[in-house]
Amino acid sequence: MSLLTLAFRSLLSRWITVSLTVFAVAMSVALFLAVEKVRIGAKASFADTISDTDLIVGARSGSVQLLLYSVFRIGNATNNVTWQSYQDIAARPEVDWIVPLSLGDSHRQFRVMGTTVEYFQRYKYRGGRSLAFAAGERFDDMFDAVVGADVARELGYQVGDPIIVSHGIASFTEHDQLPFTISGILAKTGTPVDRTVTISLEGLEAIHVDWRGGAKIPGQATPADTLRAMDLQPKAITAALIGVKSKLRVFQIQRAINEYKEEPLLAILPGVALAELWQIVGVAETALVGVSALVVVTALLGMAAMIFSGLNERRREMAILRAMGARPTTIMGLLMVEATLMAVIGALMGVVFLFIGLAIARPYIDAEFGLYLPIAFLSSREGWVLLAVIAAGAVTSLLPAWRAYRLSLADGMTVKV
């Protein structure tokens, strides 16, 4: 009888204990691979927060700061970009399209952004996906608003509901004389768009016509119909998204904007800035991998403990094998093959559990969190992880195998009272 067959039959004779151990290994492997999939998916989703945008332009500050307030709606700009500068950039022959962004106000702690209808066409995420509407449509009237999926869900909004914009981010002063009406609710994207209230530039300017120096002019309230007839071209914006006609011209126009003489501006490459930001927030990635690795180690140690604790019950078995001519090295090899078999079966079951879990949970995770987890074959890194688990299973059996090697025939045949 071969050692492999003997080990397999030995495992079958103790199938309950072995099954629990293999299940623990399988679950730990599935957890580790799931964390790896989530890590890869989160990193890819983060990198694809904005795509197909070649440059982001704002007041001169830092690349990460510009990315934070223009894309993630975190923080504030150090300064604004004048409308004249925006038009100068838009008129450059290298520019294919440009979308203005104007920030500053809020609605119940959600940021309000003024832009043009072209924003819904030009903003892309997750490798070129366009914004889609779960209900309604983009704004058409000056006082229409489009809300993100999280805004609608947390505040219970429906198309047609009125909303009032507050002046500033943490302000108790509201533009209640000019309410907006929700014209559309965007589908979940997993990006900061979900937590943004989007209105037109004209609407943002309209609610500030009767304001000066951050305060409302006493006794002045311009009617909505009058505002619709006014020329509400903004004097300044916060930032702008740019697409160029040729990718070869990106660095040329970036340098031209950074050297713009009329005012200090900064043009950044979104992908580069996102990579810099990930280096800051990616610490959690290492923590997740570390925790899942500890789970795998714990399962392997449990397997070693199971083998070790079962030696006393198997001393007579070992002695019988020795009496039948098995060498001490054979006994040692038997335990190592058993541990390796359990590790192999556990690793393969872990992969099966992973793909079953992904198939079930992926639609929910994508819909609720905007995190896309691709069901793809294991990467080389994940393959090495499985091999490491199998090798570690063999290594963890060395101590109990060495102890079995040291058991003497006489000790194994002795019945202790």
Per-residue pLDDT reduced to its tens digit, 325-340: 666 667 677 777 877 8
Check residue 89 and give its pLDDT.
Answer: 94
CA distances from 143 to 81, 163, 186, 209, 410 (A): 24, 10, 17, 14, 93
CA distances from 130 to 17, 49, 137, 342 (A): 52, 12, 14, 47
Please tell me the number of Cα atoms within 13 Å of 271 on its side-chain side: 9
Average pLDDT for 151-158 = 94
Domain ranges of the chain: 3-46+283-413, 55-268
Q: Which residue has the higher pLDDT, 121 or 376?
A: 121
Check residue 222 and give its pLDDT.
Answer: 83
The yes-or-no verdict on residue 319 having pLDDT over 70 is no
Check residue 406 and give its pLDDT.
Answer: 64
Separation CA 234–CA 240 (nearest Å): 13
For residue 170, the 8-state DSSP code is: S
Please tell me the number of Cα atoms within 13 Å of 239 on its side-chain side: 29
Q: For residue 381, what pLDDT band results from cuts at 50, 70 and 90?
A: confident
The yes-or-no verdict on residue 417 having pLDDT over 60 is no
Please give the helix or strand (H or E) that residue 324 lies within, else none. none
Average pLDDT for 114-136 = 92
Task: Name 243's bridge partners.
Answer: 97
Please give the helix or strand (H or E) that residue 79 lies within, else none. none
Task: Name 81's bridge partners.
Answer: 237
Question: 218-242, pLDDT tens digit by residue?
Answer: 778 888 888 888 888 999 999 999 9
Q: Which residue has the higher pLDDT, 400 or 234?
A: 234
Average pLDDT for 145-158 = 94
Question: 158-210, pLDDT tens digit by residue?
Answer: 999 999 998 887 666 888 888 999 999 999 988 899 999 999 999 999 998 88
CA distances from 46 to 100, 227, 364 (A): 22, 40, 19
The yes-or-no verdict on residue 269 having pLDDT over 50 is yes
Check residue 95 and give its pLDDT.
Answer: 94
8 A C-beta contact, residue 189 and residue 125: yes
Please give the helix or strand (H or E) that residue 241 lies within, else none. strand 239-244
List the end-to-end C-alpha distance of the chain, in Å, as a whole number.
Answer: 34
- pLDDT, averaged across the chain: 83
Q: Which residue has the higher pLDDT, 207 or 306?
A: 207
Question: 8-61, pLDDT tens digit by residue?
Answer: 777 777 778 788 888 888 888 888 888 888 877 777 778 888 889 999 999 998
Check residue 409 and give its pLDDT.
Answer: 47
Question: 65-108, pLDDT tens digit by residue?
Answer: 999 999 999 888 889 999 999 999 999 999 999 999 999 899 98
Separation CA 147–CA 189 (nearest Å): 12
Strand intervals (E) in 60-210 = 81-82, 95-107, 110-115, 124-125, 129-130, 133-136, 144-147, 162-163, 180-186, 196-200
Query: How many helices (DSSP H) and strands (DSSP E) are in the chain?
Result: 16, 16
Residues 6+ apart with CB under 8 A from 311: 318, 400, 403, 404, 407
> Would the pTM of this model clear 0.85, i.e. be above it?
no
